Amino acid sequence: MTSRRVFLKGSALAMFGVGALPAWLSRSVYAGDSSERRKKILVAIFQRGAVDGLNVVIPFGEQRYYELRPSLAIPKPDGTPMSAVDLDGFFGLHPSLAPLKLMFDARQLAIVDAVGSPDPTRSHFDAQDYMESGTPGFKATSDGWMNRALPKIAGPGSPIRAVSLGASLPRALRGRNDALAVNSLNDFQVRDPKAAAAFESMYEHTVDPALSGTGKETFSAVKIMQSIQKQSYTPANGAKYPGGRFGQNLQQIARLIKADVGLEVAFADIGGWDTHVNEVGAQPALGQLANNLADFGQSLAAFYRDLGDRMADVAVVTMSEFGRTAKENGNRGTDHGHANVMFVMGGGIRGGKVYGDWPGLGEEQLNEGRDLALTTDFRDVLGELVSKHLGNPNLKAVFPGYENPKFRGLLG
């Protein structure tokens, strides 16, 4: 299979020349990696800044929630847009996330609560680093879990196997497998052909240890991107992505998925969750967090709609470095806490359920007397996706040092 694929790729380049590879051919070149089924794709989303999970998935069934958060608590579901959206009689979604209810009801969205990293750090930086390296508490890990999660393949894979949207390559995607940072699909090129050829040769021949590998990866990806750039993109099924960076990045991931150029893992992030002050506005369901969640939820919903049937091959997982204090602080905000919430969405996900063991919000149930306690390790969630969705059985290499992952049964 591999040799046939390489042959196809080589002959296609020979026939059409660099840059003239037609879209249909680039598709057949990379779509055929696995003859029996299409490649599964994992999309990871990082909410940087520690989103306040207790106001994302609201434990409205627990009275303590309302005692701890007199000015922040989202009211119990009462059918109005200022109250929680009921999921199961105990948990509800923040009303800004109402677009996700559709996916939850269609059993394609699962929620894992009281989940996160077991490391106690409350440093944004360290906690993000641990979650992206996949080795909490261990700083010397040089690569990221998502790079290690790529299944082993024989021969050269698509240069577009692993992509992050944005101007930098996140920690999660760094490592031995090629991974691209893409600011925008349309700009992924050198705009002057003469200079492009000169640069390609320079980066091909440089001995610079940092730049040569990245340079070569970049130029082989540029050739594949050219076929995508030739076609304009209209989201399918009337999907409307919000205009912000996050929505636009998800749209570009959808475009890459549909172009069938060999994408296996993709990464996007969204910031602005560090709500120490004025987390809510005139009402708990309004203000800073509500606005940010609206962008987040509408973007995910548009992605789901746009991909349509292709969601069968896709799983999306969201995470944030830690949760926030269960009790509100003195500035209508929350400080750094511990456990949080994750969303898992996709055609193969057993959705429509809130997973995890709810630890409760009683004084003695809180972590260090202040934060939601942790009952699920984030690696249990990611590990299940890596092994059952991506089909990479070697979890010991993806999450070194994590001996006995306890899958929650998110996938069949």
Site for another protein in 5-64 (CB under 8 A): 48-49
Q: Choose between 130 and 355: whose C-beta lies nearer to another protein.
A: 130
| Half-sphere exposure at residue 69, Cβ-oriented, CA atoms within 13 angstroms | 31
Contact 44, 317 (CB under 8 A): yes
Q: Choose between 120 and 360: whose C-beta lies nearer to another protein.
A: 120
Q: Minimal distance in Å, beta carbon 126 to another protein?
A: 6
Q: Choose between 15 and 198: whose C-beta lies nearer to another protein.
A: 198
β-pairing, 109-116 vs 340-346, is antiparallel
Q: Minimal distance in Å, beta carbon 217 to another protein?
A: 6
Q: Which of residues 189-208 bind another protein (CB under 8 A)?
A: 189-192, 195-196, 198-199, 202-203, 206, 208
CA proximity to 289, closest of 42, 9, 54: 54
Q: Which parts of 134-191 are beta strand (E)?
A: 162-165, 180-182
Q: Minimal distance in Å, beta carbon 407 to another protein?
A: 22
Q: Choose between 163 and 390: whose C-beta lies nearer to another protein.
A: 163
Tell me the CA end-to-end span of the chain in Å, nearest whole number: 28
Facing residues of 318 across strands? 45
Q: Minimal distance in Å, beta carbon 221 to another protein?
A: 6
- Write the binding mask 316 to 355 for another protein: x where contact by CB under 8 A, - elsewhere: -------------xxxxx-xx-------------------
Q: Choose between 28 and 229: whose C-beta lies nearer to another protein.
A: 229
Distance CA 118, CA 399 (A): 14
- The helix (H) or strand (E) run that includes residue 341 is strand 340-346
- Write the binding mask 158 to 187 for another protein: x where contact by CB under 8 A, - elsewhere: --------xxxx-x--xxx---xxxx---x
Contact 39, 313 (CB under 8 A): yes
H helices within 184-277, ranges in order? 193-205, 211-229, 245-259
Q: Minimal distance in Å, beta carbon 249 to another protein?
A: 12
Distance CA 84, CA 92 (A): 5
Q: Minimal distance in Å, beta carbon 26 to another protein?
A: 18
Structure-token match 């049964």, residue found: 409
Q: Choose between 14 and 282: whose C-beta lies nearer to another protein.
A: 282
The count of residues interacting with another protein (CB under 8 A) is 72
DSSP track, 294-321: HHHHHHHHHHHHHHGGGGGGEEEEEEES
Q: Choose between 203 and 303: whose C-beta lies nearer to another protein.
A: 203
Contact 270, 295 (CB under 8 A): yes
Q: Which of residues 116-135 bind another protein (CB under 8 A)?
A: 121-126, 128-129, 135
Q: Minimal distance in Å, beta carbon 4 to another protein?
A: 27
Stretch that binds another protein, among 13-21, 272-280, 301-309, 381-389 (CB under 8 A): 272-280
CA proximity to 259, closest of 37, 41, 13, 55: 41
Contacts with 205 (C-beta within 8 Å, 6 or more apart), sequence order: none
- Write the binding mask 60 to 89 for another protein: x where contact by CB under 8 A, - elsewhere: ----------xx------------------
CA proximity to 54, closest of 113, 117, 137: 113
Q: Which of 272, 281, 287, 360 binds another protein (CB under 8 A)?
A: 272
Structure-token match 């940072």, residue found: 181
Structure-token match 């207790």, residue found: 54
Q: Minimal distance in Å, beta carbon 109 to another protein?
A: 28
Q: Choose between 139 and 406: whose C-beta lies nearer to another protein.
A: 139
Residue 361, helix vs strand vs coil: coil
Distance CA 58, CA 341 (A): 10
Facing residues of 57 across strands? 93
Q: Which of residues 287-316 bind another protein (CB under 8 A)?
A: none
Q: Which of residues 354-393 bind another protein (CB under 8 A)?
A: 368
Q: Minimal distance in Å, beta carbon 313 to another protein?
A: 24
Q: Which of residues 201-260 bind another protein (CB under 8 A)?
A: 202-203, 206, 208-215, 217-218, 221-222
Stretch that binds another protein, among 7-15, 28-36, 136-144, 308-316 (CB under 8 A): 136-144
Q: Is 42 exposed, middle or buried (0-12, 13-18, 19+ CB in 10 A)?
A: buried
Q: Choose between 122 and 389: whose C-beta lies nearer to another protein.
A: 122
User: Is 101 a residue that touches another protein (CB under 8 A)?
Assistant: no
